[in-house]
A and B are shown apart, each in its own frame.
Chain A
Amino acid sequence: MIAALRILAPGLLTTVQDLGRPGYQSLGIPMSGALDPVSLRAANALVGNNLDAGALEVAYVGPTIAVEADDVRLSFVGAQAAIDILPDTAATTGTRIETMRSIRVRRGEVIRIGSLSGGAVLYVAVEGGFDIPPVLGSVSTYLRGGFGGWQGRALAAGDRLPLCRSAAPARDECRIEGLDLRAPARVRAIIGPQKDYFSETEIASFFAGQYTVCAGSDRMGMRLQGRPVDHARGYNITSDGIAAGSIQVPGNGQPIILLADRQTTGGYPKIATVISADLPALGRLPMGATIAFEQVTIEAAQALRRDLFSEIERIGEKIVPISPAATDMAPMLLDHNLISGVVDAHNWTL
């Protein structure tokens, strides 16, 4: 039988995502990809994968997954969650583990991920990756278009996700230390491209204001609620292209920040654009969180992007073995070489 992870319960919205599908936006095909590409990379690094491999993106409520392989090594990076490893599908209690680590799970055992806290998304990577064919160069799921990932949709109970490897060699498990996934005090943004559609006072009050991430937010856009932003010249523009992090202001004045599954073009004026270095943090902000913006220059934004990518290139330095005494794992071989050489950060997609 093909090694697989079997989905017993899918969680709220669990999809396969990688770093997205660039190159097809001129045909109306969105980028897609992980909402938090930093956590995705960290999850892959923990199990020795290429950093841009596809992993499960779990939103708000986690799935329950049975292992149908000799054994499999998984990692969990992102929001906090109660994760239980149960001995079999009939069990109701098992061993509780933390996120931000790897773990080896045996055939028949069950991984139960509860509700997330402190963030909207959690990434579950599997050593060796999922055996899923890429569509247009990516395994990211594009829900609205119904393609990519696992059958173009969110996971459902009964799905069996094939794995590239049927076993995971015994070795020390690892955790990632010092990865700062806290919500930023302010999300930094560059003004425009349609600043002409707003008065200076409105722009100033947008940057001074505070907004709440509302229900209705999804992988396409984060809907905000706060003091409405008034338009100076109406709220319809002739459609133009949409960058990641574009903050569009529709007729009701409540901004929407466009995320991974954003439409490629749109007809609302965009007051500002979240800088690329802050997109991963934005992607993990859950509904109900408050958000405020800080205006920065493009030079500052690009320096912050450079900093973020040098941090990503050094992500391996944050990975440390968990001492065997701290786990109930079988004796493991120390294999410190595993982590070096896995960091291929040259896919600079955010």
Chain B
Amino acid sequence: MPDYRVLNAGDTAIVVEFGESIDRRLSTWVLALARRLDEARLDGIVETVPTFRSLLVHYDPLILSTASLAARIAELMQGLQVTEQGGRLWRLPACYDPCVGLDLDDVAARTGLSPAQVIERHSAVTYHVYMLGFLPGQAYMGDVPSELTLARRESPRLKIPAGSLAIASAMTCIFPMETPCGWHLIGRSPVALWERGPRPRALLAPGDQVIFAPVSLREYERLLAKAADGTLDIFPLDEAVEAAA
């Protein structure tokens, strides 16, 4: 059982904190507890929000007392396994052409690698989705290889386009919508992590795994056109296998 502490975040939320850093092991604890709590379907829990190192549990104390909630969490912690993770595996197309990866050359210069090496290193990793946050559907994925870890840009951009693939410290993100951003832009993905419309949805969930498949600028534009038509269907790899069978 991992070490943890429970902190009150007001009278209707508690933080179950496993540590203070970004750490794959802490994240798996967080996600395992989130899963157990969701499965326990306790009356009075409104929702849970996993983050890098903690789980925020929103609850209604008039239905579930703080003490009972803490006691249930202590029970659920017993025998918690880091392997209890039900994430899906995704392969997402990513275009690293300098036309869309505006900082690719700069990242190469800062890391002492060639642009081709930056692309090769970034796309060689199977990333873990630590959490979603900042914007609807925005997944924080890690860990970026240590050779590519850079602090944020000194001057953030006021606007980056939707789909921008970027890195900062040990994290990589596809930004689901236009936003100000201080991250280093190394490419773009045609995949909408956040689908607008009457039934909006987030593609990725905490605990998922992601591989980036490099595509040419031309292929990116073709996929982007399909995405605009609503015909770019992206499935998790296991489901894609089933769909093809």
- Chain A contact residues, CB within 8 Å of chain B: 22-29, 133, 135-136, 144-147, 189-190, 192-193, 237-246, 263-265, 270, 273-277, 298, 301-302, 305-306, 309, 348, 350
Contacts and interface: CB of A to CB of B under 8 A. Distances in A.
A34 B24 CA distance: 37
Nearest to A23: B47
Contacts of A238: 20-22, 51-53
Interface stretch (B54-62, B94-102, B116-124, B227-235): B54-62
A27 B202 contact: yes
B164 interface: no
A309 B49 CA distance: 25
Contacts of B13: 241, 243-244, 273
A193 B15 contact: yes
B81 interface: no
A28 B131 CA distance: 9
B54 A146 contact: no
B109 to A, nearest CB: 26
B62 A192 contact: no
Given A239-B52, A275-B10, A276-B11, 16 more contacts: A25-B47, A26-B47, A26-B48, A26-B50, A28-B134, A190-B10, A192-B8, A192-B9, A238-B22, A240-B52, A241-B9, A244-B13, A246-B10, A264-B133, A265-B49, A302-B61
Interface string B3-35: 000011111110101001110000000000010
Interface stretch (B85-93, B135-143, B184-192, B237-245): B135-143
A240 B11 contact: no
Contacts of B49: 25-26, 241, 264-265
Which secondary structure characterizes the binding site on chain B? loop
Nearest to B12: A276
A25 B59 CA distance: 13
Interface in B189-240: 196, 198-200, 202, 205-206
Contacts of A26: 34, 47-50, 132, 205-206
Kindly name the residue among A26, A305, A306 whose own CB sees the greatest number of chain B CB atoms within 10 A: A26
Nearest to B6: A193
B50 A245 contact: no
Contacts of B51: 238-241, 265
Nearest to B196: A147
A18 to B, nearest CB: 16
Interface of B: 7-13, 15, 17, 20-22, 34, 46-56, 58, 60-63, 66, 131-138, 177, 196, 198-200, 202, 205-206
24 contacts: A23-B47, A26-B206, A28-B134, A135-B198, A145-B136, A146-B196, A147-B196, A147-B200, A190-B8, A192-B8, A193-B15, A237-B20, A238-B20, A238-B51, A240-B15, A244-B12, A270-B9, A273-B9, A273-B11, A298-B8, A302-B11, A302-B62, A305-B12, A348-B63
A28 B202 contact: yes
Contact of B9 (A27, A144, A193, A237): A193
Contacts of B56: 25, 240-243
Given A239-B133, A241-B51, A348-B62, A28 B138 contact: yes
Contact of A241 (B54, B60, B200): B54
Given A238-B22, A238-B53, A239-B51, A27 B12 contact: no
Contacts of B11: 190, 273, 275-277, 298, 301-302, 305
Contacts of A133: 198
Contacts of B205: 26-27
B136 A29 contact: yes
Contacts of B131: 239, 265
B198 A28 contact: no
Contacts of B132: 26-28, 264
Nearest to A136: B200
Contacts of A192: 7-9
B61 A246 contact: no
A293 to B, nearest CB: 13
Contacts of B12: 243-244, 276, 305, 350
B139 to A, nearest CB: 8
3 shortest interchain CB distances as A-B pairs: A241-B56, A273-B10, A265-B133
Given A145-B135, A193-B7, A298-B8, A240 B200 contact: no
A305 B12 CA distance: 10
A298 B8 CA distance: 8
Contacts of B62: 302, 305-306, 309, 348
Nearest to A28: B132
B9 A246 contact: yes
A226 B199 CA distance: 43
A298 B66 contact: yes
Given A146-B196, A263-B134, A240 B10 contact: no
